[in-house]
Amino acid sequence: MIFVTGGAGFIGSNFVLDWLAQSDEAVLNYDKLTYAGNLQNLASLQGDARHVFVRGDICDQAQVLALFRQHQPRAVVHFAAESHVDRSIHGPGEFIQTNINGTFSLLEAARAYWSELADGEKAAFRFLHVSTDEVYGTLGPDDAPFSETTPYAPNSPYSASKAASDHLVRSYHHTYGFPTLTTNCSNNYGPYHFPEKLIPLIIANAQAGKPLPIYGDGQQVRDWLFVSDHCTAIRRVLAEGRLGETYNVGGWNEKANLDVVHTLCDMLDTLKPKAGGGSYRDQITYVKDRPGHDRRYAIDARKLERELGWKPAETFETGIRKTVQWYLDNPQWVADVQSGAYANWVETNYNNREQ
């Protein structure tokens, strides 16, 4: 069995689904079920004995340790995190609590469990920490992409909290010999993505006839990674990664935010034309930029390719088409996650922002 934290969130649920589609090894899925955790993502696993779900908080060290001792996992894959930059600007406290204190509590519980294992099981145990490229800060237009040796320079409360968690994980390997692995990924997209992030927000707003908000001039550049490619990379690092190492995971798809929105609008124009005619591009609205908005992220994923033979299977064009089609095919999922709490958040972040 493997122990997955945050396995009801966007990337975590995709990972659990992919894992159980390709392996009979069971998953203990531990998730707090905050606004972004959604058991509907895992509905296809209902009744599957290989999937054990426990609702809980990674800050609850005693509960986590009890679960380790009960289920005897051979590995931890740690997704659980607060992950939205805008939310971290409005309320950084939850990010500090979950991303820093929670990771510390999880490390302590995992280290206590690991120390009790027999030598063979101890040697085989792995703790894989899933992080972000945002810890590296921002790039100029002509700067080389982030590598694993790029100095950390986080610019938001979110990225700072993830940077702190990365440092904690690194320290546990170097201080205690604890068998850690860290991955730093670029922007993920794909099915089950909560519609506060750019791609699912644009798809949902376009169909609802709402404005498509673009921060600033829309020229912020991100490297886009299809979520199933990310899951494949994590499995590869978990199986073959060198202990104590960091591996950057990217899609080799640098796109400006405005170009991404144009692509989505054009795709929706083809797949689901507007009833009254015209283009979804007509709904684009420019709003005041996010404070401290990083201008460009780019990932150099050559270490992962060189050492472990991983490459993304999807181009941006193939991945984004699959993503748009999934949202068009699953309107009920979108409607269900757009709760009152989500609507209130959208109003706080977007409707009150200067245009």
DSSP secondary structure of 112-169: HHHHTS-HHHHHH-EEEEEEEGGGG----TTSPPB-TTSPP---SHHHHHHHHHHHHH
Of residues 30, 136, 158, 297, which has the active-site annotation?
A: 158
Whether 172 is catalytic: no
Of residues 31, 57, 86, 134, which has the active-site annotation?
A: 134
Whether 269 is catalytic: no
Instruction: Tell me the sheet residues that pair with 287.
Output: 215
Are 287 and 297 contacting, i.e. CB atoms less than 8 angstroms apart? no
Of residues 133, 166, 254, 300, which has the active-site annotation?
A: 133
Strand order across the beta sheet in which 180-185 lies: 51-55, 27-31, 2-5, 75-78, 126-132, 180-185, 246-249
Q: Beta strands of the chain (E only): which ranges?
A: 2-5, 27-31, 51-55, 75-78, 126-132, 180-185, 187-189, 212-215, 221-226, 246-249, 254-256, 284-287
Whether 254 is catalytic: no
Catalytic residues: 133-134, 158
